[in-house]
A = this chain, B = another copy of it.
Amino acid sequence: MNKIFEILIRTGISVKLSTVHFILSFLLFSSLFAGEHPNLFISGTEAQEIKKSLNKYPLLKKSYEEIKKTVEGGIRDGIEVPQPGEAGGYEHERHKQNYREMQQAGILFSITGEEKYAQFIREMLFKYAELYPTLGAHPLSHNQAPGKLFHQMLNETVWLLYASQAYDCIYDWLTESDRDHIETNVFKVIIKWFIEENAHEFDRIHNHGTWSAASIGMIGYAIGDQNLVEMALYGTKKDGRGGFLKQLDLLFSPDGYYMEGPYYIRYALRPFFFFAEAIERNQPELKIYDYRNQILKKAYYSAVQTAYPNGVLPPINDASRTMDITAPGIVLSNALTYYRYGPDPNLLGISAAQDFVILNGAGLKLAKDFSSVNSPPEFNWKSVEFTDGYDGKQGGLGILRMGKGNYQSMLLMKYGVHGEGHGHFDKLHFTFFNQGREVIIDYGFARWINIEPKFGGRYLPENKSYAMQTIAHNTVVVDETTQNGGDRREADAVWGERHFFDASDANVQVMSAKSNRHFPGVRMQRTMFLIDDKRLDSPVVVDLYRLSSEKKHVYDYPIHFLGQPISTSFECTASTQQLVPMGNSAGYQHIWKEAETDVEGTISCTWLVGNRYYSLISAAGKGSQVFFGRIGANDPNFNLRSEPAIILRSHGQDYLFANVIEPHGYFNEAQEKSENARPNINAVKIMGYDNEGSVIEVLGRNNLKWRIMVSNGDASEAATHSVIFSDHHYEWTGNYLVDLNAD
């Protein structure tokens, strides 16, 4: 009712009561027709509640002040709607800033009722109404579906998704002719661009498709066009083969794991949750939050449960090395998950890291609960395995964790699907987190995101030629090639297979997976343990990587790290006078060969990262070699980062890499302290391996002797295995046996 009078006052109409009645009836009708406003993200009631609660909940207040500061800055600096520019350039960034400021201004208008915010949005949309009809397809789209404001349609969908929220918030406040003007010259032109001229992009089962669907669905609700909403839900043909629901069906495994990996889900969470929330508010009968056994809840939890203890998302597949749980999509989903699926202290812990909540009923609830916890909340995830593939039968992702908070050790192994265009050829790849940082690293993408002089901030050629290649990862390379010959379609047709996963013992956790369709004729099985033995400084990784084939091959086992090589147990033959690339293709052309040494028997390489030493202790088979490599060859534009790697090379048909990665000691340069710079583990012995099982022994200081047996056949908790290697008889029941006190 307030709004109606506001409108009357704004339009300067002086009226009698009967006239008011008439207008009331009219508005009531049109409101039913176009839906209540705002109806996408925040309701009038929520806005009033937030207004009342600002001084009660510090996190709410802080978030409000932050938004206010941004929008007031935008108002003060004046509105600018420039001609389109190149990716990452000033104009590109300006249009992004515009949609963010519009959306936030909408929220502020809802909460405060202050007209300056509504005017800001109106004026900006009017400027877009001037510009937009004059634009054709952006000329710099580079093989992507183009936008008009932006080089790719993807950015344009984001623009629409945000702008529709801003529009929703001032819908009632605008005059009908304002609305006509804006809808005709902005929204309807964009809508046509998306659903008619780029229907293929719209209907993709891909995060681009999700952004498209969400943006069209939301503008549909905003302008009261249910036809658009249906296209958003079921695809442009409304046959359910495209659209939001199909994306929910196919882009996640039944556990909620997103096929493209953590970096892309943090981005895709926005359209998924923004649109889901709009659906829930406008069509609660669809029960979107319950859809596919609450797939949205699982999607969110699986995303944040992949995070390293410091909040950074593991950069598997195309990904930056710094994206973390403070990303806007995670801020959004954290509150909505908390609100829609019920409270969870872990989500309060994530809020503490984010230090910001969204401004709607969900954010209010989170801020309120946050203010009532006594100690600073933390999040602590447990070891977990996620299945991959829409049916959950296409391998998975295993995560083993020991310890708490930033002291946690985390071992991640990837054995699921390829993940389409942003996927890397990296099955059985692992990363290792320790000491508050990723220490066995994933290179991430070869992209200097949004840095205009670096190919417009887009993916660089080196993303394909290096970052995606198998050798760029911590998984075995066969014959210096790449999995599936580097062919994405071929890789998408196969996946890893889970063998077993067991995190039930606090001191010995294990995951095992196979990959038989990634290198022709080569079967691979990787079993990774995280073992905590009080005689050692920190949990260690034990890695049994078995390869078998009918033919002889070259097997390369790479470890990528950041840090300084400290020592090797062997005389290392370094290339001191000349560096050449390690190979000609499959990523090897980008690695300078810094050292190459023949080795045999137990060897160790130690390097330093931060305040700790790390040693790779390996049972090197006959004819093995160790290489030290450094990224940077064949990189004329310095697009790659200069980072080191150790590569163990062996030759054979059947081969077992039996390695231990031991964090040890302490170094503090400023305090000039160093302890335990040499590893405690001093031998890894392979007792034998065949199709039944593998047996190794690990020896170290303080009489440490472990015997580790792993089943190589079909997984079974109950089966008993028996093998004889060098006249010794080994027997165990189940998938593995670890004896930490072997005789």
Residues of A in contact with B (beta carbons under 8 Å apart):
88, 90, 93, 320-324, 326-327, 448-454, 457, 564-567, 572, 574, 576-581, 592, 594, 606, 608, 628, 630, 632-638, 641-642, 644, 667, 669-670, 672-675, 677-678
A90 and B350 alpha carbons, distance in the complex (Å): 42
Contact of B450 with A673 in the complex, beta carbons under 8 Å: yes
A267, closest chain B residue (CB): B672
Tell me which of B323, B453, B564 contacts A670 (CB under 8 A).
B323
Chain B residues with Cβ below 8 Å from A608 are 448, 451
Contact of A669 with B320 in the complex, beta carbons under 8 Å: yes
A457 and B669 alpha carbons, distance in the complex (Å): 11
Chain B residues with Cβ below 8 Å from A644 are 642
Contact of B677 with A453 in the complex, beta carbons under 8 Å: yes
A565 and B637 alpha carbons, distance in the complex (Å): 8
Chain B residues with Cβ below 8 Å from A320 are 669-670, 672
Chain B residues with Cβ below 8 Å from A451 are 566, 608, 667, 674, 677
A584, closest chain B residue (CB): B577
A565 and B640 alpha carbons, distance in the complex (Å): 9
The 5 closest A-B pairs by CB, nearest first: A453-B567, A565-B638, A579-B579, A450-B674, A322-B670
With A450-B674, A606-B453, A672-B449 as contacts: A579 and B566 at CB distance below 8 Å? no
Tell me which of B576, B633, B672 contacts A634 (CB under 8 A).
B576
Interface centre among A320, A644, A672 (most CB of B within 10 A): A672
Chain B residues with Cβ below 8 Å from A630 are 632, 642
Tell me which of B321, B323, B674 contacts A457 (CB under 8 A).
B674
A120 and B60 alpha carbons, distance in the complex (Å): 55
Tell me which of B566, B576, B670 contacts A633 (CB under 8 A).
B576
Chain B residues with Cβ below 8 Å from A572 are 636-637
A571, closest chain B residue (CB): B636
Contact of B669 with A322 in the complex, beta carbons under 8 Å: yes
Contact of A675 with B93 in the complex, beta carbons under 8 Å: yes
Contact of B449 with A677 in the complex, beta carbons under 8 Å: no
Q: Is the interface of A mostly helix, strand, loop or mixed?
A: loop
With A88-B674, A669-B449, A677-B452 as contacts: A577 and B323 at CB distance below 8 Å? no
Chain B residues with Cβ below 8 Å from A567 are 453-454
A670 and B667 alpha carbons, distance in the complex (Å): 29
A641 and B677 alpha carbons, distance in the complex (Å): 18
Chain B residues with Cβ below 8 Å from A564 are 448, 638, 641
Question: Closest CB-CB distance, A647 to chain B, in whole Å?
Answer: 15
Chain B residues with Cβ below 8 Å from A450 are 667, 672-674
Chain B residues with Cβ below 8 Å from A642 are 630, 642, 644
A320 and B669 alpha carbons, distance in the complex (Å): 7
Interface centre among A320, A323, A677 (most CB of B within 10 A): A677
Contact of A678 with B636 in the complex, beta carbons under 8 Å: no
Question: Closest CB-CB distance, A93 to chain B, in whole Å?
Answer: 7
Question: Closest CB-CB distance, A463 to chain B, in whole Å?
Answer: 15
A451 and B671 alpha carbons, distance in the complex (Å): 12
Chain B residues with Cβ below 8 Å from A633 are 576-577
Contact of A670 with B324 in the complex, beta carbons under 8 Å: yes
A-B contact pairs, 20 of them (CB 8 A): A93-B673, A93-B674, A320-B670, A320-B672, A323-B669, A327-B670, A448-B608, A450-B672, A451-B608, A451-B667, A451-B674, A453-B566, A453-B606, A565-B638, A576-B636, A577-B580, A577-B633, A579-B579, A579-B580, A628-B638
A578, closest chain B residue (CB): B580
- Could you list 15 further interchain pairs (A-B, Cβ under 8 angstroms) beyond the known A326-B670, A576-B636, A630-B632? A88-B674, A93-B675, A323-B669, A323-B670, A450-B672, A452-B677, A452-B678, A453-B677, A457-B674, A576-B633, A577-B633, A579-B579, A594-B632, A630-B642, A642-B642
Chain B residues with Cβ below 8 Å from A669 are 320-323, 449
Question: Closest CB-CB distance, A610 to chain B, in whole Å?
Answer: 12
A675 and B578 alpha carbons, distance in the complex (Å): 38
Chain B residues with Cβ below 8 Å from A628 are 638
A669 and B633 alpha carbons, distance in the complex (Å): 24
Question: Closest CB-CB distance, A332 to chain B, in whole Å?
Answer: 15
Tell me which of B323, B324, B636, B678 contacts A574 (CB under 8 A).
B636
Contact of B634 with A452 in the complex, beta carbons under 8 Å: no
Chain B residues with Cβ below 8 Å from A453 are 566-567, 606, 677-678
A449 and B326 alpha carbons, distance in the complex (Å): 37
A318 and B163 alpha carbons, distance in the complex (Å): 58
Question: Closest CB-CB distance, A457 to chain B, in whole Å?
Answer: 7
Chain B residues with Cβ below 8 Å from A454 are 566-567
A673, closest chain B residue (CB): B450
A634, closest chain B residue (CB): B576
Chain B residues with Cβ below 8 Å from A326 are 670
A472 and B567 alpha carbons, distance in the complex (Å): 24
A644, closest chain B residue (CB): B642
Tell me which of B579, B635, B638 contacts A592 (CB under 8 A).
B579
A479 and B202 alpha carbons, distance in the complex (Å): 63
Chain B residues with Cβ below 8 Å from A672 are 320, 449-450
A669 and B635 alpha carbons, distance in the complex (Å): 21
Question: Closest CB-CB distance, A681 to chain B, in whole Å?
Answer: 16
Interface centre among A448, A572, A628, A634 (most CB of B within 10 A): A448
Interface centre among A321, A327, A669 (most CB of B within 10 A): A669
Chain B residues with Cβ below 8 Å from A641 are 564
Chain B residues with Cβ below 8 Å from A581 are 577
A577 and B608 alpha carbons, distance in the complex (Å): 29
A565, closest chain B residue (CB): B638
Question: Closest CB-CB distance, A645 to chain B, in whole Å?
Answer: 12
Contact of B576 with A579 in the complex, beta carbons under 8 Å: no
A573, closest chain B residue (CB): B636
Question: Closest CB-CB distance, A69 to chain B, in whole Å?
Answer: 16
Interface centre among A320, A323, A577 (most CB of B within 10 A): A577
Chain B residues with Cβ below 8 Å from A88 are 674
With A579-B592, A592-B579 as contacts: A452 and B674 at CB distance below 8 Å? yes
A669, closest chain B residue (CB): B322
Chain B residues with Cβ below 8 Å from A449 are 669, 672, 674
A634 and B450 alpha carbons, distance in the complex (Å): 37
Chain B residues with Cβ below 8 Å from A606 are 453
A312, closest chain B residue (CB): B670
Chain B residues with Cβ below 8 Å from A578 are 578-580
A357 and B678 alpha carbons, distance in the complex (Å): 35
Contact of A577 with B634 in the complex, beta carbons under 8 Å: yes
Chain B residues with Cβ below 8 Å from A321 are 669
A88 and B572 alpha carbons, distance in the complex (Å): 23
A674 and B96 alpha carbons, distance in the complex (Å): 12
